[in-house]
Amino acid sequence: MRRRIIVTVSVVVAAALGLGAVLWFGIVPHWRPALENGERYGIDVSAHQDEIDWDAVARDGIQFAYIKASEGQGWVDEWFDENWAGAAQAGLDRGAYHFFTLCAPGAAQAENFLSVAPPDDNALPPVIDLELTGNCSDRPPADQVAAEVDAFVQLVERAWDRDLLFYVRPDWDDVYPVRDGLDRRLWDYRFFRRPTDDRWHVWQVNTFARVDGIDGPVDLDIMRETE
């Protein structure tokens, strides 16, 4: 009797795990939230995606792309130029973003970003990416970090003559609060849940979506038109 119960439980657990795997790997990566008025699908990419077939991306309903340009004061994404040109040729709106590191001065990081992504009136607003995941191990005082971020923002906004879009992960905001009092639009990461902050301009839906033209997972985003 006991053995029969153990076998039954094992079968149920295996079936549940199998169903979960089907949902996670087979359905969830292809799921896209329904668009509301003024919204459109997009992606954000970097060298992690390797070579991209941008025409196939466009045919899959993707209308914009944010492309990683730089990181810190000297690192440049090796695929930026090709992705920048490919996205435009496929008819996608495109924007550039910079991964802000805690290990370099904000002004030097701004110079690096602008050397890769100079002002472009036809591009989407540039983005500053603030997150601790993948960042260096330094954890400077909050006032010092705020000053370096501000230096980056001022230099890039002066060059582009446009406000930056802020991508702020919760891990960053927990240590270096940015969102409270921020008078800029947000690129909000919320796993499958619509943002609740009215300042959101881009919503990162998930980080393992499947899109035609890209081998492997990619970040899926939704952009809405805002004032």
pLDDT in tens, 26-74: 588 999 999 999 999 999 999 999 999 999 999 999 999 999 999 999 9
Could you tell me if 6 and 115 lie in one domain?
A: no
Query: What span, in angstroms and rounded, lies between the C-alpha atoms of 58 and 50?
Result: 17
Could you tell me if 109 and 10 lie in one domain?
A: no
Could you tell me if 48 and 26 lie in one domain?
A: no
Q: Which domain holds residue 22?
A: 1-30
Confidence of residue 223 (pLDDT cuts 50, 70, 90): very high
Could you tell me if 3 and 85 lie in one domain?
A: no
% of the chain residues with pLDDT over 70: 88
Could you tell me if 23 and 81 lie in one domain?
A: no
Mean pLDDT of 14-33: 60
Query: What span, in angstroms and rounded, lies between the C-alpha atoms of 36 and 118?
Result: 33
Query: What span, in angstroms and rounded, lies between the C-alpha atoms of 217 and 202?
Result: 19
Beta bridge partners of 202: 187, 223
Could you tell me if 6 and 76 lie in one domain?
A: no
- What CATH number is given to the structural domain containing 129? 3.20.20.80
pLDDT at residue 20 in the model: 44
Two tokens at 46?
């970097």
Could you tell me if 44 and 146 lie in one domain?
A: yes
Could you tell me if 122 and 159 lie in one domain?
A: yes
Mean pLDDT of 202-221: 96
Mean pLDDT of 113-132: 97
Query: What span, in angstroms and rounded, lies between the C-alpha atoms of 87 and 169?
Result: 26
Could you tell me if 11 and 41 lie in one domain?
A: no
Confidence of residue 192 (pLDDT cuts 50, 70, 90): confident
Opening angle at CA 68, ends 64 and 82, nearest 5? 75
% of the chain residues with pLDDT over 90: 81
Could you tell me if 166 and 78 lie in one domain?
A: yes
Mean pLDDT of 208-227: 92
Mean pLDDT of 141-145: 96
Confidence of residue 3 (pLDDT cuts 50, 70, 90): low
Could you tell me if 204 and 165 lie in one domain?
A: yes
Q: Who contacts 121 (Cβ-Cβ below 8 Å, separation ≥6)?
A: none
For residue 12, pLDDT beyond 70:
no
- Amino acid, res. 66: Y
Look at the chain and report how many structural domains it folds into. 2
pLDDT at residue 169 in the model: 93
For the chain, the average pLDDT equals 90
pLDDT at residue 22 in the model: 42
For residue 7, pLDDT beyond 80:
no
pLDDT at residue 2 in the model: 59
Confidence of residue 225 (pLDDT cuts 50, 70, 90): confident
pLDDT at residue 191 in the model: 85
Could you tell me if 26 and 54 lie in one domain?
A: no
pLDDT (tens digit per residue) in 156-191: 999 999 999 999 999 999 999 999 889 999 999 988
